[in-house]
Structure formats: structure tokens, C-alpha cells
Amino acid sequence: MAAQYYKKIADNRQARFDYNILDTYKAGLILKGSEVKSIRLGQVNLKDSFGRVEYAEVWIYGMHITPYSAADKTQNEPSRPRKALLKKRELVKLIGKVAEKGLTLVPLKIFFDGNWAKVELALAKAKKKYEKRDTLRQREAKREIERAFKGQADGNKK
């Protein structure tokens, strides 16, 4: 069997800042042909997208896929809802967890698993403002430490 490869297309870095990630799921996407070509070109934006469970199906809203320029004139709507495909046991588990107060589904990244477009969905809880400020403080402290060590390493080489 051929080795599988992953090619990351788009990443939702803002979601990792705005949410505490509790669990992640890999799901397939139902797309039209021209949408797949646009995704291969990297013309996708996950910034304001979110997932919702409706009638035992997971739908992704707000994912913007720029229309493929070489496709016919009957283009698809760029921000239309798209169905995510999950395994039955994952879906049942997800439905129970999303029903809890304060949990949401957030797409983290889109990638190709072989020839199939996939999305990584995260079960997440929104951070409070003070948690976001704390995250920024920790990130800045980590940078300062790295700068200090980098300066020491350069000083030892001389």
C-alpha cells in the first residue's frame, strides 16, 4: 500500500488563540470539483468559520473558498455551508459533547490526505479576555527567554 502524505493548505491560527482546544477530529469534506481546484491553489480562508451539528450531520459555515477562475460561469457561492464527513462513532461522541454548554466546533486546518480534502475540526471552549491576555504574556516571556539564550550562545562562540 502506498504511503500517505499530508499537504497542509490552510491554517486557522486565530482559533488556537481564541479557544481552548479540547479534542480534534479529522473529517472529510463534500466539495464540488472547482472548489477542490481552488483549495489546491490555497484559495481558502478559515478565519470566521465554525461547525454546527444539525440533524446528526456536521456542517461547516463561514469557510470561504474563492471561486476557481478557469471554471465555468455558474460558480458556487464562496461561503456556502459544507458537509463534513465523520465516522459514526465519532459523530455520536461529538453530538453529545457539543450539546454541553459552552463547547463549539472550530475548523483548525484544511489539508489533503492523499487525494482527499480533509478538515481538522476541534471541539473547543472559548477563552475569556483575561485568558487571552495571559496567553499573550506567556508568549512574550517565552520570546524574551529565547532572545536571552540566543545572546548567550553567540557570546560563548567568540
May I ask the CATH architecture of the domain 6-127?
Beta Barrel (2.40)
Closest by CA position to 94, among listed 46, 22, 29, 30: 22
Would you say residue 24 has pLDDT above 80? Answer: yes
pLDDT of residue 156: 55
What is the pTM for the complete model shown?
A: 0.75
**Per-residue buried b or exposed e for 56-81, using 16+ beta carbons within 10 Å of the residue's own CB:** eebbbeebbbebbeeeeeeebeeeee
**What pairs with residue 36 in β-bridges?**
none
Closest by CA position to 43, among listed 59, 63, 24: 63
Would you say residue 155 has pLDDT above 70? Answer: no
User: What mean pLDDT comes out for the span 153-157?
Assistant: 58
Percent pLDDT > 90 in the chain is 5
> How far is it, in rounded angstroms, from Cα 106 to Cα 12?
9
Could you tell me which residues come within 8 angstroms of residue 20 by beta carbon, excluding any fewer than 6 positions away? 124, 125, 126, 127, 131
pLDDT band at 107 (very low <50, low <70, confident <90, very high): very high
pLDDT band at 125 (very low <50, low <70, confident <90, very high): confident
Dihedral, CA atoms, 11, 16, 31, 76, nearest 10 degrees?
-80
Q: Where are the domains of the chain?
A: 6-127, 129-158
> How far is it, in rounded angstroms, from Cα 141 to Cα 57?
42
pLDDT of residue 2: 52
